[in-house]
Amino acid sequence: MIPFNKPYLSGKELQYIGEAVNSMKISGDGIFTKKCHDFFESNFGFKKCLLTTSCTDALEMAAILIDIQPGDEVIIPSFTFVSTANAFALRGAKIVFVDSMTNHPNMDVSKIEALITAKTKAIVPVHYAGVACEMDEIMRIASNHNLYVIEDAAQAIDSYYKGKPLGSIGHLSAFSFHETKNIISGEGGMLVINDSKFNDRAEIIREKGTNRSRFFRGEVDKYGWVDIGSSFLPSDIIAAFLYAQLEHIHQIQTRRKNLWNLYYSGLQKIANTGKIHLPEINSNATNNGHMFYILTESFEQRTALINYLKDCKIYSVFHYLSLHVSPYFSDKHDGRELNNTEQFEQRLLRLPMFYELTEEQVMYTCETIEKFYESGSN
């Protein structure tokens, strides 16, 4: 069986967890949390990083930080994971969904400006499959209309836009270290703060609305309740696992990108027949080997292919169910058709992608897909 995903252990995870435990400081912001923050700040030039218990939490922190009030509007792609929208919905925001591009699930920036009203407060680009959204244009629109930009960079570690690391461009950004991502800690995430006016309040929100971080730095002589907040910081045990992964980021990324390239060349022949489409990455963006997907010709063809692959012991998966027609949101949506989003919902298929996937397994998967199309069962 070729699974869809398999978490990779780089080797020192358990050793570092042991060190964290032995340090007897196993709640948040211990030595490994500091090491992870330093790693990101020095390797990616992020101004300030705060580990969180998930990307979802980092997005929730962002929504609190930009002071979302009931009725504020936030522009978000419909083709994304629920957390991108839910974090803002939790604070009473009205979610305004924007369509994807025709050739990529990322938001179509040419459709943003028509959605802006006096109540719009933020744009939340999602770098799907780690491929950069058109950030110059998004930042230009945001600055013209006085909006915040929150990057959902959950899938975008070590990926770039015109040479700049994703996560370093918006006012705030959120990363995920969920076990399905490139660099993992089981559950885990990070808020990146690129606008320093958010620094102090972010620490407070992350520490249950208290100024405890300042207290531990000796900047105040007692700490108490100073704002709203929640428990957004992870245990140092989680950070220990994460740090072991970060030490191998180069190796992990190289491997994943090699596998991605192998899929891309292995599927070229069948793509040339027009039966499937391969991912497109524009020249401003990079590939970080997060995900390999194909687009089938139709929903029916995708279902048949998933079943065919399963019979050949290969697990493939699809996502997302478009949020604008979801059971929670459909009666709140303004009725606009988001045709590109729906195309990706129906036709996008993700193939197995994980560090320990072998070249043989990739080739076998490519050959199996070829056989499916040659067998005429589609």
CA distance 197 to 209: 17
Kind plus residue range of the DSSP H or E element containing 143: helix 135-145
Phi first, then psi: give them for residue 231, nearest 5 degrees. -100, 90
**Residue 30 CB, nearest distance to ligand PLP (Å)?**
20
Q: For the CB of residue 23, give the shortest distance to ligand PLP in the complex, in Å.
A: 25
Scan residues 145-174 and list those touching ligand PLP (CB under 6 A).
152, 154-155
The answer to whether 342 contacts ligand PLP (rule: CB under 6 A) is: no
From 75-83, 195-203, 271-279, 362-370, give the range in contact with ligand PLP by CB under 6 A: 75-83
For ligand PLP, give the closer residue by CB, 156 or 357: 156
Q: Which CB, 148 or 320, lies closer to ligand PLP?
A: 320
Q: How far is the CB of 331 from ligand PLP (least distance, A)?
A: 24
Task: Determine which residue in the list 165, 170, 189, 234 makes contact with ligand PLP, applying CB under 6 A.
Answer: 189
Neighbours of 377 (CB within 10 A): 12
Instruction: Verify binding: residue 354, ligand PLP, rule CB under 6 A.
Output: no
Return the bridge partners of 314, or none: 2
**Stretch of residues binding ligand PLP (CB under 6 A), selected from 49-57, 131-139, 257-265, 331-339:** 49-57
Please tell me whether residue 368 binds ligand PLP under the rule CB under 6 A.
Answer: no
Q: How far is the CB of 223 from ligand PLP (least distance, A)?
A: 28
- 242 makes contact with ligand PLP (CB under 6 A): no
Q: Is 285 in the site for ligand PLP (CB under 6 A)?
A: no
What's phi and psi for 257, nearest 5 deg? Answer: -70, -35
**What three-state secondary structure class fits 96?**
strand
Size of the site for ligand PLP (CB under 6 A): 14
Six-digit token pair at 44? 């990616």
Task: For residue 328, say if its preceding peptide bond is cis, omega within 30 degrees of 0.
Answer: no
Residue closer to ligand PLP, measured from CB, 178 or 255: 178
Torsion of CA 10, 168, 285, 5, to 10 degrees: 30
Shortest separation between residue 82's beta carbon and ligand PLP, angstroms:
8
CA–centroid distance for 5 within its chain: 16
Indicate whether 120 belongs to the interface with ligand PLP (CB under 6 A).
no
Contact 307, 260 (CB under 8 A): no
Looking at 77-85, 94-102, 165-173, 191-199, which segment touches ligand PLP (CB under 6 A)? 77-85
Candidate list 33, 78, 83, 301; residue touching ligand PLP; CB under 6 A: 83
The whole-angstrom separation of Cα 184 and Cα 175 is 11
Residue 89 binds ligand PLP, judged by CB under 6 A = no
Figure out which of the listed residues 17, 32, 50, 54 binds ligand PLP, where binding follows CB under 6 A.
Answer: 54
Residue with Cβ nearer ligand PLP (81 or 198):
81
| Residue bearing tokens 């997302």 | 320
292: β partners = 351
Listed in order, strand segments (DSSP E) in the chain are 48-52, 73-77, 94-98, 120-123, 148-152, 160-161, 164-165, 172-176, 189-193, 292-295, 348-351
Out of 126, 295, 305, 366, point to the residue binding ligand PLP (CB under 6 A). Answer: 126
Smallest gap from Cβ 150 to ligand PLP, in A, equals: 11
Contact criterion met (CB below 8 Å) for 75 and 112? yes
DSSP annotation of 2 = B
State the residues that interact with ligand PLP by CB under 6 A: 54-56, 80-81, 83-84, 126, 152, 154-155, 176, 178, 189
